Amino acid sequence: MKVAVVGATGLVGGEILKVLAERNFPVSEIIPVASERSIGKKISFKGKEYAVLGYETAIAMKPNVAIFSAGGSSSLEMAPKFAAAGITVVDNSSAWRMDPTKKLVVPEINANTLTPADKIIANPNCSTIQMVVVLNPLHKKYKIKRVVVSTYQSVTGTGKAAVDQLFDERAGKEGPKVYPHKIDLNVLPHIDVFLENGYTKEEMKMILETKKIMMDESIQVTATTVRIPTIGGHSEAVNIEFENDFDLAEVRAILEKEEGIIVQDDPKNFVYPMPITAHGKDEVFVGRIRRDESQKNTLNVWIVADNLRKGAATNAVQIAEYLAAHNLI
């Protein structure tokens, strides 16, 4: 199967290549693609070097699937051109997520809605993906009324320049800044741009995407998204109010059985999810599972995942795996 990785020279693009290799995706030909300034650069895949190509060259090579991680404006411009050539696009930007004509997919939840006609498929926001993987099995059992989420998000979610800023600051070096304030030894309650309603775009992504992925507009969500000086992954404190009461042992059992979830919940022995231990892993980790004693039918959980893996690259590759396995590409 011919696979194009669009944005192959970026942080997520590099992770997509790594995940394709690790998961033994059936690649007959890899086609690394990037913007004009990166054409000719070399990337490595399964021990071989490949030259980065431009968009038009890649389209002419007719890959079966193109996994995009090139930013929203590039996706809006180029994804329809790939799709028009019969190439299925899995797009990691925010460009198509809330388009009512496009599917927003987390494979564990709604891959079964995909058809051969879906030529542009949206990969959700990283912080949304890890949350809904945990919410979905609980929603099926107890029916979620409301979710309150506060995130603690890695600088890797902003990209390589943000990682450079953090380590420059840590080393006492001057360098380019992508955040309006220092990030080392600091916390920024600000991810993406502020909107008219006082929320950030990242917060509204979590609110709107959750309803779309879980196919239930009745779920009420409110979010506060925060950038912290870590690189291993995103963490979330999630408060979930259900219509029906629950048993904590049953909640743990439901989550333990779910593919793609690892329960780490032994606080007496200091076992709980952390970015440092989630780093490089494909699973979503959940712990600190406890009843909210201030309100009936309400649960608190702590969710951690590597935002470059399940939050981006792995989810996109899993979509491609589903498409390949069901002869949809």
Segments of the chain assigned to CATH 3.30.360.10: 127-307
CA 144, CA 102: separation in Å to the nearest integer? 25
pLDDT of residue 276: 98
Exposure b/e, 162-197, CB count within 10 A at least 16 = b: bbbbbebbeeeeeeeeebeeebeeeebeebbeeeee
Which two tokens mark 123?
């990969």
Spell out the alpha helix ranges (H) of the chain: 11-22, 55-60, 72-84, 107-110, 126-142, 160-170, 201-213, 248-257, 275-278, 314-325
CA 237, CA 296: separation in Å to the nearest integer? 18
Segments of the chain assigned to CATH 3.40.50.720: 2-124+312-325
pLDDT of residue 143: 98
Which one of the listed residues 139, 181, 190, 234 is annotated catalytic?
Answer: 234
pLDDT of residue 7: 96
Does residue 326 carry a catalytic annotation? no
Strand arrangement, sheet containing 88-91: 29-33, 2-6, 65-68, 88-91, 120-122, 103-104
pLDDT of residue 121: 98
Contact 147, 210 (CB under 8 A): yes
Class of domain 2-124+312-325: alpha beta
Instruction: For the domain made up of 127-307, give the CATH fold.
Output: Dihydrodipicolinate Reductase; domain 2 (3.30.360)
CA 240, CA 300: separation in Å to the nearest integer? 6
Place of tokens 């690189």: 231
Residue 37 DSSP class: G
- Other CB atoms within 10 A of residue 293 CB: 8
Contact 48, 21 (CB under 8 A): no
Amino acid found at 199: Y
pLDDT of residue 181: 98
Q: 309: closest CA among 6, 7, 3, 17?
A: 17
Give pLDDT tens digits for 163-178. Answer: 999 999 999 999 999 9
What string of pLDDT tens digits covers the 329 residues of the chain? 999 999 999 999 999 999 999 999 999 999 999 999 999 999 999 999 999 999 999 999 999 999 999 999 999 999 999 999 999 999 999 999 999 999 999 999 999 999 999 999 999 999 999 999 999 999 999 999 999 999 999 999 999 999 999 999 999 999 999 999 999 999 999 999 999 999 999 999 999 999 999 999 999 999 999 999 999 999 999 999 999 999 999 999 999 999 999 999 999 999 999 999 999 999 999 999 999 999 999 999 999 999 999 999 999 999 999 999 999 99
Place of tokens 């239930």: 216
